[in-house]
């Protein structure tokens, strides 16, 4: 099959699965997940074929896979169209690779996570997480996990989500990229609020949708601006020297930015929303309300990556304006450090990962802000693998803990609180070892893990190009990352079980552990493709393939940064130091009270939710209800309209009372009648009936008229 056609087909299976499940197989759980996982597999297969073929093309950056069709007839003549199409260039191929793998693994994992094969729950209802079922075996009853009531629907939503991500990655233009972007936004809303009957999940879904929408409307403006400035939204047409030069030199009239600068900034705000960067980061931690595979999908593999992917895609444009780049670098670096400090004080196993995700995305954004294109793409990919692994691992832990909760029957124990865990390494060995690999990759454990290579490259770039502020900020953030990761591993897996539930935790089924193992494999090996050429001992053993390949996307191949020992030493120090310190501090901590980092301001995420609520959410509702609706519409406008009623009424009454009645009725109407009546009365006396009198009158009148005529006409 022609590669281009194949690329067109890649996004289709998941969306077909969505429609199939919603319309037909909704009632049959096995059929639904077969359709869903099968579709994810087909897309994965297609992606792998495309990826392999892309590797075989020389200078893929200059000759990418492209194909387009006409879409919107918008031209001034009959045959000009707005075209849409597909594009796979080196960056696209690399992103496609990790997207396909993580999505497929998440689909598979979901089968186990949503308790397929387990009995129906005793009191389960749609919209709430399953509470467990009672079964009788060998004469005694015990509680087991129950299957998710909306099992089929879950796979339908995941399918639509996957479709959105594939569309985003494979688009050759900003408009269809935006389409995929928003479809994912919808799915994140639906999936975060999957257990919609829980008020917290419902609010979290709305919050995610609205917060990202703040970014989206700016992005939409950026898209419109770019389209009107260049007449196209196709990446390949925009990233030509002439177009970029024009954009860089035309002033936008806002803040002294060039057109490229303003467009870049608007698009970047979209990425800030989607990738949960400060100040639009607030939605992501709440999004943990969704089922854990969703968290992995949203927070590792797809949606948050989309923001960074957008900045990577638009890098040739965004990098034109130094002001925009400075803003990008600042936001990224600040977010990286800021959310790392919050992660230190979280006790919910998923929330730690959530803040860690925000922080790591900050690393990538900061890297892009300082021009480290390849390093950002590299970290995007390695992060997707190890963060998906960590999320799925945490889901596995939660699942194991829930098993314990069902066993003891004490539903007050929060299966997500790390202080309720401890010692799980023995109960859940596969989960433990894979989680350890993921955690070490996140911390940047030297040489072995993928996270080390990508994070090191970002630090090396910041160092090599003299971005000291970024370098130091990221180094501190990296230290904190290693620290809280080790805190998490120590509290969860090491030591002895701190609760009965942890004692009865159980390893999860193969549908959940196989994805963990696969992702762990990539969390280690994905880094080896990008070892710098001059790295001590290892450099040059494996060529720095990633840099060559992905760097080829840009028209001007970026120079690999010169090797320096200082950033390497820094990397080593922060990773090992953070991990070591984390273990030292937390190996003996048993309760939250003993944890000295439970600082309120950190625990409460610097009170951003409260501040936003106070500054934006409440005033917006007040403005809408009191000012716009009650005051303006009902008060001023309707008040004005209603005043017409009484005014018209009074005007009408006035006309009746002061004109109609006295003037028309009394004077003309009644008046003329009265006059006639009176006159008739007076005249009655002459109606005598005697002929002589009538003749007498006639004579008098005749003489009078004759005299008058004579007087006026003849005289």
Partner 1 sequence: MNFIDTHLLSLILFVPALAAVIILFLPNGENRVFRWFAFGASFIPFVLSLLVWFRFDANQSGFQFEEIYVWYEAIGSSLHLGVDGLSLTMVLLTTILTPLSILASFSITDRVKAYMILFLLLETGMLGVFMALDLLIFFVFWEVGLVPMYFLINQWGSANRNYASLKFLIYTMGGSLGLLLGIQLLGVLFNTYDLQIITAQWSTYTEDIAGIPASTFKTVAFWAFVIAFAIKVPVWPFHTWLPDAHTEAPTAGSMILAGVLLKLGAYGFLRLILPLYPEQARVFAGALAVLATAAIVFGAFASYAQTDFKRLVAYSSVNHMGFVVLGIAAAGLASGTPDAHIALNGAILQMFNHGLSAAGMFFLVGVIYERTHTRNLNEFGGLFPLVPVYGGILIFTSMASLGLPGLNGFVSEFLVVRGAWPILPVYTAIAMLGLLFTGAYILKGIKMVLHGPLNEHWAPAGGEHKLTEINTREILVMVPLMALILWIGIWPAWILDVINKAVVRLF
Point out which span in 115-123, 178-186, 475-483, 587-595 binds partner 1 (CB under 8 A).
178-186
Residue 356's contacts (CB-CB under 8 Å, 6 or more residues apart) are 339, 340, 343, 387, 390, 442, 481, 484, 485
Tokens of residue 260, six digits:
């490229």
Q: Give yes or no for residue 27 binding partner 1 (CB under 8 A).
A: no
- Residue 436: count of CB within 10 angstroms of its CB: 17
**Mask: binding to partner 1, 600-639, rule CB under 8 A, as x and -?**
--------------------xx-xxx--xxx-xxx--xx-
Q: Give yes or no for residue 692 binding partner 1 (CB under 8 A).
A: no
**Mask: binding to partner 1, 214-233, rule CB under 8 A, as x and -?**
x--xx-xx-xxx-xxx----
Question: Residue 539 — φ and ψ, nearest 5°?
Answer: -55, 135
**Mask: binding to partner 1, 636-675, rule CB under 8 A, as x and -?**
-xx--x----------------------------------
Least distance to partner 1, CB of residue 398, Å:
23
Least distance to partner 1, CB of residue 528, Å:
38
E strand map for 590-680: none
Least distance to partner 1, CB of residue 331, Å:
20
Least distance to partner 1, CB of residue 190, Å:
8
**Mask: binding to partner 1, 91-130, rule CB under 8 A, as x and -?**
----------------------------------xxx---
Q: What burial class does residue 572 get, using C-beta atoms within 10 Å of its C-beta: 0-12 exposed, 13-18 middle, 19+ buried?
A: middle
Least distance to partner 1, CB of residue 173, Å:
13
Give 117 or 251: the residue with its C-beta nearer to partner 1.
Answer: 251
Q: Which positions from 485 through 524 interact with partner 1, judged by CB under 8 A? A: none
Give 218 or 463: the residue with its C-beta nearer to partner 1.
Answer: 218
Is cis: bond before 279, omega within 30 of 0?
yes
- Distance between start and end Cα atoms, the chain: 122
Alpha helices by DSSP H, 140-198: 151-170, 174-192
Query: Of these, 183, 297, 358, 428, which contacts partner 1 (CB under 8 A)?
Result: 183
Least distance to partner 1, CB of residue 643, Å:
13
Query: Are 433 and 550 a contacting pair, CB within 8 Å?
Result: no
Query: Are 183 and 209 a contacting pair, CB within 8 Å?
Result: no
Q: Give yes or no for residue 8 binding partner 1 (CB under 8 A).
A: no
Q: Give yes or no for residue 76 binding partner 1 (CB under 8 A).
A: yes
Least distance to partner 1, CB of residue 197, Å:
6
Q: For residue 105, which of 296, 356, 371 has the smallest C-alpha distance?
A: 296
Query: Of these, 75, 429, 580, 619, which contacts partner 1 (CB under 8 A)?
Result: 75
Q: What share of the chain is helix, strand, coil (3-state, %, to 5)?
A: 70, 5, 25
Angle at alpha carbon of residue 701, lines to 695 and 702, rounded to 5°: 85
Q: Which positions from 259 through 278 interact with partner 1, judged by CB under 8 A? A: none
Q: What burial class does residue 186 get, using C-beta atoms within 10 Å of its C-beta: 0-12 exposed, 13-18 middle, 19+ buried?
A: middle
Tokens of residue 611, six digits:
């501040």
**Pairing state of beta strands 133-137 and 81-88?**
unpaired
Give 211 or 499: the residue with its C-beta nearer to partner 1.
Answer: 211
* Count of residues near partner 1 by CB under 8 A: 57
Alpha helices by DSSP H, 196-240: 199-230, 235-238
Give 104 or 161: the residue with its C-beta nearer to partner 1.
Answer: 161
Least distance to partner 1, CB of residue 266, Å:
10
Give 636 or 703: the residue with its C-beta nearer to partner 1.
Answer: 636
Least distance to partner 1, CB of residue 124, Å:
11
Residue 114's contacts (CB-CB under 8 Å, 6 or more residues apart) are 147, 148, 151, 154, 291
Q: Give yes or no for residue 22 binding partner 1 (CB under 8 A).
A: yes
Give 228 or 588: the residue with its C-beta nearer to partner 1.
Answer: 228
Query: Are 558 and 312 a contacting pair, CB within 8 Å?
Result: no
Q: For residue 297, which of 204, 228, 229, 392 has the smallest C-alpha distance?
A: 392
Binding site for partner 1 (CB under 8 A): 22, 70-76, 78, 81, 125-127, 175, 178-179, 181-183, 186, 189-190, 193, 196-197, 199, 202, 205-206, 209-210, 213-214, 217-218, 220-221, 223-225, 227-229, 620-621, 623-625, 628-630, 632-634, 637-638, 641
């Amino acid at each position: 099959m022609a590669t281009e056609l194949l690329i067109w087909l890649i996004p289709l299976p998941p969306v077909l699965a969505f429609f199939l499940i919603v319309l037909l197989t909704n009632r049959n759980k096995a059929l639904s997940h077969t359709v869903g996982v099968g579709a994810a597999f087909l897309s994965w297969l297609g992606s792998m074929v495309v990826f392999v073929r892309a590797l075989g093309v020389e200078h893929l950056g200059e000759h990418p896979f492209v194909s387009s069709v006409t879409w919107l007839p918008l031209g001034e003549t009959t045959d000009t169209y707005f075209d849409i199409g597909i594009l796979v260039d080196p960056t696209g191929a690399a992103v496609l690779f990790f997207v396909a793998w993580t999505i497929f693994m998440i689909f598979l994992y979901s089968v186990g996570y949503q308790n397929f094969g387990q009995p129906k729950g005793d009191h389960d209802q749609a919209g709430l997480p399953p509470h467990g079922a009672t079964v009788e075996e060998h004469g005694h009853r015990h509680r087991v996990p129950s299957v998710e009531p909306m099992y089929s629907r879950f796979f339908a939503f995941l399918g639509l989500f996957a479709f959105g991500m594939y569309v985003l990655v494979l688009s050759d233009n900003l408009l269809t990229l935006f389409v995929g972007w928003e479809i994912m936004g919808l799915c994140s809303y639906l999936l975060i609020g999957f257990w919609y009957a829980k008020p917290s999940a419902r609010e979290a879904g709305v919050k995610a949708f609205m917060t990202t929408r703040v970014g989206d409307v700016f992005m939409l403006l950026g898209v419109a601006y770019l389209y009107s400035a260049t007449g196209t939204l196709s990446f390949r047409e925009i990233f030509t020297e002439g177009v970029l030069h024009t954009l860089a030199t035309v002033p936008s009239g806002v803040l002294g930015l060039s057109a490229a600068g303003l467009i870049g900034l608007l698009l970047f705000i979209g990425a800030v929303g989607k990738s949960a960067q400060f100040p639009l980061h607030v939605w992501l931690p709440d999004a943990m309300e969704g089922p854990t595979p969703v968290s992995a999908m949203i927070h590792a593999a797809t949606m948050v990556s989309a923001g960074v992917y957008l900045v990577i895609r638009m890098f040739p444009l965004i990098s034109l304006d130094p002001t925009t780049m400075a803003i990008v670098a600042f936001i990224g670096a600040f977010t990286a450090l800021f959310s790392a400090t919050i992660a230190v004080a979280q006790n919910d196993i998923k929330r730690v990962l959530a803040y860690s995700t925000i922080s790591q995305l900050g690393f990538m954004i900061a890297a892009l802000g300082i021009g480290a294109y390849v390093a950002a793409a590299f970290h995007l990919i390695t992060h997707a693998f190890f963060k998906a692994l960590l999320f799925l691992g945490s889901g596995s832990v939660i699942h194991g803990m829930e098993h314990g909760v069902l066993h003891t029957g004490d539903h007050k124990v929060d299966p997500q609180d790390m202080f309720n865990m401890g010692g799980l390494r023995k109960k859940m060995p596969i989960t433990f070892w894979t989680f350890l690999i993921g955690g070490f990759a996140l911390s940047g454990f030297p040489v072995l893990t993928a996270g080390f290579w990508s994070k090191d490259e970002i630090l090396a770039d910041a160092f090599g190009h003299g971005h000291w502020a970024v370098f130091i900020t990221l180094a501190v953030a990296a230290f904190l990352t290693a620290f809280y990761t080790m805190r998490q591993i120590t509290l969860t897996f090491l030591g002895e079980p701190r609760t009965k539930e942890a004692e009865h935790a159980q390893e999860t089924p193969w549908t959940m552990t196989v994805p963990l193992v696969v992702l762990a494999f990539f969390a280690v090996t994905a880094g080896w493709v990008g070892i710098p050429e001059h790295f001590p001992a290892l450099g040059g053993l494996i060529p720095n393939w990633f840099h060559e390949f992905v760097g080829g996307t840009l028209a001007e191949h970026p120079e690999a940064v010169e090797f320096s020992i200082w950033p390497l030493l820094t990397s080593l120090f922060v990773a090992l130091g953070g991990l070591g310190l984390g273990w030292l501090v937390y190996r003996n901590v048993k309760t939250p009270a003993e944890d000295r980092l439970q600082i309120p301001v950190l625990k409460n995420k610097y009170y951003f939710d409260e501040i936003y609520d106070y500054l934006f959410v409440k005033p917006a509702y007040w403005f809408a209800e009191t000012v716009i609706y009650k005051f303006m519409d009902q008060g001023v406008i309707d008040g004005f309209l209603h005043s017409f009623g009484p005014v018209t009424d009074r005007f009408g009454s006035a006309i009746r009372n002061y004109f109609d009645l006295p003037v028309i009725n009394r004077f003309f109407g009644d008046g003329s009648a009265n006059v006639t009546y009176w006159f008739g009365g007076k005249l009655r006396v002459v109606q005598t009936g005697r002929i002589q009198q009538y003749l007498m009158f006639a004579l008098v009148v005749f003489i009078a008229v004759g005299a008058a005529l004579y007087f006026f006409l003849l005289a």
